[in-house]
Amino acid sequence: MACLSIVNATEFLQLNEELSLLCERSKKKQKITMEDESLKDNQVKILFGVTREQFNNLHAYIAADLRSSCNRTIRDALGIYLMKLRLNLSQEAIGILFGIENQSRISDTISTVSNLIYEKFTPKFLGYTHLSAQQIRSHQSQFLNKIFDLNEDTNIVVADGTYIYVHRSSGKHSKCIFVLKY
């Protein structure tokens, strides 16, 4: 799945400069690490797409369920995942930047962090399961209640199927013509 990020010219130049510096560090056997406080706040935002505070909040959700290894810390694992999402670099390139030579370790790290975020973070902030019925009702407008003549304890659900995949058969065109004729 391709990821599209919109970056203006200034951000692109900053990103290019930051990556050049990081490549120079990697040649000197210096690696990116989220334990290193020398990464400036703007560098964290450029490389990982989140602020340091947002990074720390995400880290708090997954830290208890993720182990450090000889290759990377828990914070580095989250950094690897976020860098992949933000920059869409190859796993080999991310491995060079983080000082991890084995691409399969990068792949495993990305997969593990992705699963943890899906299990620990997503249910608390996306969807409706983290809201009570009363909280859902508080977002419902009085306009809808009047139009549909709803009781106060009734919730309205609006479902958007824009991105739901629907299989289309190869004979779709002939079926459409048939329907239009009759």
The pTM of the whole model exceeds 0.95:
no
- Give the separation between CA 20 and CA 90, rounded to whole angstroms: 16
Q: Which pLDDT value is given to residue 1? A: 47
Tell me the pLDDT of the chain (182 aa) as tens digits: 455 667 788 888 888 888 777 766 655 556 788 877 778 888 889 899 999 999 999 999 899 999 988 878 899 999 999 999 999 999 999 998 888 988 999 999 999 999 999 998 888 877 767 777 777 777 777 777 778 787 777 777 777 777 777 766 665 555 555 454 44
pLDDT of residue 15: 80
Query: What distance in Å separates the CA atoms of residue 82 and residue 120, rounded to the nearest whole number?
Result: 16
Task: Check: CB of residue 116 under 8 Å from CB of residue 65.
Answer: yes
Cβ partners under 8 Å of residue 146, min gap 6: none
What would the two tokens of residue 67 be?
């182990």
75, HSE (Cβ side, Cα atoms, 13 Å)? 13
Provide the residue ranges of all domains of the chain, joining segments of one domain with +.
Answer: 9-125, 133-181
pLDDT reported for residue 29: 55
**H helix runs in 49-171, sequence order:** 52-62, 74-87, 91-98, 103-116, 122-125, 133-138, 142-147
